[in-house]
Amino acid sequence: MKKLIKNFASAAALSAVALCTTISAVHAADWPNDNIRLVVPYSAGGTTDLISRKVADLMQNELGNIVVENRPGAGSTVATGQLARGGRGADHTILMASPGHAIGPAIYPGLRFNPVEDFKFVKKVITIPNVMVVPANSPYNSLEEFVEAAKNKEVTFSSPGTGSSVHMSGELFKNATTTQMVHVPFRGSGEALPALLAGDVDVSFDNMPTVLPHIQSGKLKALAVTTPKRSPFLPDVPTVSEAGEQYGLKGFNTSAWFGIVAHKSLPDEATTKLIDALSNVMEGKDFNEFLPRFGAVAGTESGDEFRTFISSEVGKWAEVAKKANIKR
């Protein structure tokens, strides 16, 4: 009798697995067979929200109705944690990930998700470089002059908040150059920018769209861009990597990036559909007209490449946070 029950249980379990697989396969073939939910892990109206809504708008032609939903909290980790938990509707939910996806685990203790293992990585959509800027009346005219000065005296760098990509860029720079840089956090760019323009802080590694108008109007001096390649918006400005090679800055790469991730259970066929849809959108005129407005360039990594990028970011920021003693 026991054997019968055991066999029956095994058969039932196998049938269930088979049934689930079949359902999953059917779902994958028909995907999407429901509205797609694009979760924005920040408040409505911000840069992430704007980019998400534009991308959702353009993707609707390829994938049907996409509903954008804002779920802000704890530097994007609340929304990311919710997606990682999965549950009902997870197979039709995607998330607009940003640097917070990789920085969060470095600074928030006890997160109940793994930023790499719990997700399927679709495609990086946009990269916005950060720019190393100093006020117009600053004595520093190049990265070299700045580093030499900062090795001998304390200098300050501002950011729109502790744990932001702007802050972490500064910490990474400080670690690599072993300079005496002190972080001055503000609450948002609206507060940080006036302090920089007025010369109350010495330097910032702010996002391109925030500082570009002030560089163009001569109120700020751009010393370097933080991406591996020079920005088409500031072609004469060197990269941190090329200008600071002698200070251990070779390979320096930080930026604000935005990319689509999904729950790890998303079938491969669905992931491929999403990648194809995004690729089509990113080749389109609308998207390419939209990019320059944010001083952005299109992302290139998708699938496993995107996963490798996130994985390296997670490792990089964990080390920076540890050295900077940022642990929440």
Partner 1 sequence: MDNFSEVLNLFLSIDNFIAIAAGVLVGVIVGAIPGLTATMAVALALPFTFSLEPVTAILLLVGIYKGGMYGGSITAILIRTPGSPAAACTLLDGYPLAQQGNAKKALKTALYSSCVADLISNIALIFFAGYLAKIALNFGPPEYFWLICFSLTIIVSVSGDSVIKGLIAASLGIIVSTIGLDAVYGSQRLTFDSYDLMDRVSFIPLLIGLFAIPEVFEFYTSKIVPHVRSAVSGASLSFSEFKRCLKSIIRGSLIGVVIGAIPGTGATAAAFISYSEAKRNSPRKDKFGKGEVEGVAASEAGNNGVAGATLIPLLSLGIPGDVITAIILGAFMIHGLTPGPVLFQENLTMVYALFCGILVSSAVLVVVGNTAIRYFSLIAEIPKSILLPIVLMFCVYGAYAVNNSTFDIGLMLLFGLLGFIFNRAGIASAPFLIGFILGPMFEDNLRRTFLISKGDPSIFFRGPITWLFVSLTIASLAFAIYRYWQSRRATYPSLKKTRCIISISFYRSSPYAPCVQGEGGSHSLLNLNFKGPKHEKRFHL
Please name the residues in contact with 191: beta carbons below 8 A apart, sequence gap of 6 or more. 160
Q: Which of 187, 246, 285, 304 binds partner 1 (CB under 8 A)?
A: 187
Contact status: 174 vs partner 1 (CB under 8 A): no
Contact status: 175 vs partner 1 (CB under 8 A): no
Residue environment code for 88-112, b if the CB has 16+ CB neighbours within 10 A, otherwise e: eebbbbbbbbbbbbbbbbbbbeebe
Q: Which of 24, 60, 142, 162 binds partner 1 (CB under 8 A)?
A: 162
Residue 106 is encoded by which pair of tokens? Answer: 């470095």
CB of 130 to partner 1, least distance (A): 17
Q: Which of 13, 16, 19, 182 binds partner 1 (CB under 8 A)?
A: 182
Q: Which of 64, 89, 188, 248 binds partner 1 (CB under 8 A)?
A: 188
Contact status: 319 vs partner 1 (CB under 8 A): no
Region of 27-35, 38-46, 119-127, 251-259 interacting with partner 1 (CB under 8 A):
38-46
Q: What is the footprint of partner 1 within residues 67-126 (CB under 8 A)?
A: 68-75, 77-78, 81, 107-110
Contact status: 200 vs partner 1 (CB under 8 A): yes
Q: Which of 50, 149, 275, 298 binds partner 1 (CB under 8 A)?
A: 50
CA-nearest of 319, 37, 54 to 175 is 319
Q: Environment class of residue 163 by beta-carbon count within 10 Å: exposed (0-12), middle (13-18) or buried (19+)?
A: buried
Residue 83 is encoded by which pair of tokens? Answer: 């997606």
Three-point CA angle 107, 111, 113, nearest 5° = 125
Please name the residues in contact with 257: beta carbons below 8 A apart, sequence gap of 6 or more. 98, 99, 124, 126, 127, 128, 299
Distance CA 245, CA 251 (A): 8
Residues that bind partner 1 (CB under 8 A): 43-47, 49-50, 53-54, 57, 68-75, 77-78, 81, 107-110, 154, 156, 161-163, 182-191, 193-195, 197-198, 200-201, 209, 212-214, 216-217, 290, 292-294, 325-328
